[in-house]
Amino acid sequence: MKALFAALAALLAAAGPAVRLPPTNFHLVPGTMAPGRGPDGNSVFLVAPRGLILVDTGRHPEHRDRLLAYARERGLPIVAIFNTHWHLDHSTGNAEMRAAYPAAPLYASNAIDGALAGFLRDSRASAERALATGQIPEANRAEVRRFFAVMDHPEALRPTRPVTRSADMTIGGRRLRVNLAPFAATEGDVWIYDRAHRLVIAGDLVVAPVPFMDTACPDGWRGALDAIAATPFVLLIPGHGEMMDRAQFLAWRAAFNAFLDCGASDRPRADCVAGWRRDAARFIGPGREAMIDEMTGYYIDTRLRSAPEERAKYC
């Protein structure tokens, strides 16, 4: 896992060109990556009549501090928190943000329950073994201990207002379409559409420069992207990487679908890896080819061409 995070750190530093629109009704706190440590996903503040809606809370204390600083700067309360999905680079900050704003409900899917009983439980056991045997460098131990602290208090990850279906909601006075994508990047991904501003917040359903497929159901993910494509947005905020306009999203989606198709075929593994690098080139900076090859190859082996029971694990 540590090697994977290190590769992601270098990859995310190479995102494609930004889409720049006046952020009058939202504020993006970009996720960050540093070599040798886990990422922070993008966080988004939506400005509502009665306060701020926060989408995703990041992983590290530095990211949390940026969120709290923005809320203080605006002089507005956080009236609701969303987790687009349970991955800890999007949800570790829940407890601290909810402590600072205890009246803010947490909207998320119930997929966290399966993660706590499976993926996260296994990840903790692996991290405990690595820590006990001295495999984790001193510089990374604070992050591991933060992970343990989250696992010791899983109630902070569980929604107080579960998202169990797609529906229109008025939150803090702002009208939103809150969508549930079952069995996609995780067992339950939440993505948000603001019709008034034609804005989509996609979470890890859209990720530059490589889709993170560790807990993915590829066919469900493909369907979720179809639903986003059918939505008349003009700007999309991904879970990692720069904002996208519609043309950029459609290019990313085409590359994703081609990668899944190749992974499901009997074409040589190297062809699938090279295909992603070619099709997603606009989202990949120069000099990252070896890391892209490592990441895409890993997902071909562990998700797209693994044993049938493993492929079905998150579906």
81 has which bridge partners?
A: 54, 106
Closest CA to 281 of 305, 307, 308, 254: 254
Helix (H, G, I), strand (E, B) or coil at 81: strand
Q: Is the pLDDT of residue 4 over 80?
A: no
Whole-number pLDDT of residue 158:
97
Q: Is the pLDDT of residue 17 over 50?
A: no
Which structural domains are found in the chain, ordered by start?
2-311 (3.60.15.10)
pLDDT band at residue 57 using 50, 70 and 90 as cut-offs: very high
Query: Quick one: pLDDT band at residue 292, thresholds 50, 70, 90?
Result: confident
- How do beta strands 106-108 and 188-194 pair? unpaired
Cα–Cα distances (Å) from 236 to 29, 78, 150, 207, 305, in that order, read 14, 22, 29, 11, 30
Q: Which of 20-34, 48-62, 168-182, 220-234 has the lowest mean pLDDT?
A: 20-34
Give me the pLDDT at residue 79, please: 98
Q: Is the pLDDT of residue 267 over 80?
A: yes
Q: Burial code of 116-153, b = ≥16 C-beta within 10 A, e = fewer?
A: beebbeebbeebeeeeeeeebeeebeebbebbeebbee
What average pLDDT does the chain have?
91
Closest CA to 284 of 225, 184, 196, 207: 207
Rounded to two decimals, the pTM is 0.90
Residue 86 in tokens? 């349970």
pLDDT recorded at residue 287: 75
Q: Percent of the chain having pLDDT more than 70?
A: 91
Is 229's pLDDT higher than 50?
yes
Residue 131, pLDDT > 50, answer: yes
Of 300, 302, 303, 306, the residue nearest 217 (C-alpha): 303
